[in-house]
Every structure is written in structure tokens, then in C-alpha cells.
Amino acid sequence: MYELRCQIEFIREEHPGCGLENIYYQLNPEGIGRDRFVTYFMEMGYGIKVRKNYRKTTIPTHLRYPNLIEGLLVYQINMVWQSDITYYRVGDVFYYIVFIVDVYSRRILAYQVSDHLRAEANIRALKRALQIRDTDLSNLIHHSDRGSQYVDKDYLYILNDENILISMGLRGQENAYAERVNGIIKNEYLNHWEIHSFDMLREKVEKAVNHYNHKRPHRSLPGRSTPIAFEKQLKLGNKNMVYNEWIFSEKLNINQKDYTFENTGFSEKYLVCPLIDG
């Protein structure tokens, strides 16, 4: 077990909040099952403590857009992007981080670290995401909460200019993919590092996003791939990497985990949403 402990500590040098189950699948150790591995190293003190988040970052607005993604079948990149804002405390000062995530690949397309909650940071993140994708996004849905940053006139102008559909949710659960990224970056990375300034926070967020996109395996992706590796395989036409992702809805009377596009009965793969289409 000493060798495994060394390997765990090596992984956690880069990814300090990596969970034991995730580490198990990275190491694939011989002679020990997943549950025993997790139990043993939990008892050895390798468990991860998660901090609770309480600060509110959403400033509600009267201007609202409908939720276009509830029950949606996502089958490729650039169908749904989700964006959210989270906070990070350094000493007595709160800073804010904007993320934009591709729901299908789980890739963090763009982020911005700021010392305010104005829309400028969201606009910079959005422009960066558009630069990275650099393609026609007229079939894309941009989903967020109903914070004032997402109905800023300049932000909406960019979305409308790109013919991107605008979707918003009322509850955090309706923005679950971006919310999860918030938690991962803070709980698996930032909270384990010594951060003493705004500049250091920006440096550490960049390091965390880099590792998340390139090295962190995702159990939700085929083959527990990383987001960047997954997108590369899609680009190469690897059919083993294609999968179907349902945006959860309590209104769907189907087994979402087993239901694929092939048995929906729809003739075209375009914004398949049983809540709307059938």
C-alpha cells in the first residue's frame, strides 16, 4: 500500500481535491477493488472535506427568458452552453469567477476572475468562448440563471448577433452543469491552495481550469475521458465517444439514462425536447 500512497500524493500535488474514487480509476491498481480502495484510504485519512458556500452571486432581474433546455436531448458539442458566477474569498475580500461550460463535453470554454459583479466580466468570458469555438453557433442555446449580468444589453447584443438562443432557469438545479463546475474548481483545487491576493487567485484559477480540461477524468464522459481528449476524439470521428445527454426534468416520463436519440422517434437531430415536441 505504500506505493499506492505515493501515487495518491503525486496525483494530489496537481489536483489536491481529487476524490478517492476518481484516483482509483486513474491508477487501476491490481488486486484491490474500488470499494475496498476507497474505504482503506478513507481510514488512512485521505478523504476530502468540502466547504459549504453561502454567498449569493445572483442579482435577480425583472427581464426573463424561458427555460429552453429542460428535458432537452444533447448529442453534440455547441448545443448548450451554461454560464454561472461563483465567489471566492481571499482574506476579507470577495472576488468573483465567471465560467462558461459546454454541457456535452463538460469543457470550461472560458472564465473570468473579477473584483466586482458587473457584466463586464461575463462579456469578456463570452467573447473568449466565441473565439475558442470560432464556428457558426446559430443552433446553440446559452443557458444561465436570471442574474442581471445575463440580461445586460451588451451581453444580449452579442448573443443575438450570433443568433444564439437565450435560456434561463429559476433555480440552481436548472443550471446544474455550470454549478457543478463551480464546486469542482473551488472544492477540488482552490480551497486546497494558499491564495493571498487577487493576482494569485487569477493564477490559480488558470492552473485549475487547465488541469480540469486536460487531465481531470470525467465519469460522465465515455471512457472517463477528459473534456479536451473527448473533444479531440469527436473531431476524429470516433463513434465510441458519441453519447446522449438528457437535461434532467421531472416532467419526463421516460428512463433518461437508457433512452437514446435512436429510440426517440424523431426524424432529425435538432433540439429534441419531448416536453415541447411530443
CB atoms within 10 A of CB 59: 12
> Tens-digit pLDDT profile for the chain (278 aa)?
656 666 766 666 667 766 767 777 766 777 777 777 767 666 656 676 666 555 555 555 556 789 999 888 899 999 999 999 999 999 999 999 999 999 999 999 999 999 999 999 999 999 999 999 999 999 899 999 988 899 999 999 999 999 999 999 876 567 889 999 999 999 999 999 999 999 999 999 999 999 999 999 998 899 999 999 999 999 999 999 989 888 877 766 555 555 555 555 555 555 555 454 44
Q: State the Cα–Cα distance between residues 230 and 213, nearest whole angstrom.
A: 10
Hey, which bits of 59-132 come out as E strands? 73-74, 80-90, 93-102, 108-114
| Residue 19 CB partners (closer than 8 Å, separation 6+) | 48, 188
The predicted structure's pLDDT at residue 21: 73
The predicted structure's pLDDT at residue 276: 46
The predicted structure's pLDDT at residue 31: 72
Q: State the Cα–Cα distance between residues 161 and 16, nearest whole angstrom.
A: 41
CB 106 within 8 A of CB 82: no
Distances (CA, A) of 124 to 20, 113, 154: 36, 10, 11
The predicted structure's pLDDT at residue 166: 95
Amino acid at 50: V
The predicted structure's pLDDT at residue 2: 54
CB atoms within 10 A of CB 256: 14
Q: State the Cα–Cα distance between residues 183 and 167, nearest whole angstrom.
A: 22
Of the candidates 87, 94, 151, the one whose C-alpha atom is nearest the C-alpha of residue 119 is 151
Which grid coordinates belong to 43?
481510514
The predicted structure's pLDDT at residue 116: 93
